[in-house]
Amino acid sequence: METKNEKPKTIKTKIAGLLTSISNKIISSLGSAMARQTTDQTDLWVPYGARVRDYKTWVDEKFPSAYRFVSMIIVADNTLLPSAIQAL
Residue (of 40, 38, 37) closest to 60 by Cα position? 40
pTM higher than the cut 0.85:
no
Three-state DSSP state, 60:
helix
Whether the per-residue pLDDT at 1 is higher than 60: the answer is: no
Sequence-separated (6 or more) residues with CB below 8 Å from residue 74: 84, 88
Whether the per-residue pLDDT at 78 is higher than 60: the answer is: yes
Q: Tell me the pLDDT band of 66, cut-offs 50, 70 and 90.
A: confident
Sequence-separated (6 or more) residues with CB below 8 Å from residue 20: none
pLDDT tens digits, residue range 2-36? Answer: 566 666 678 888 889 999 999 999 988 887 878 88
Q: What is the pLDDT of residue 6?
A: 67
* CB atoms closer than 10 angstroms to residue 85: 11
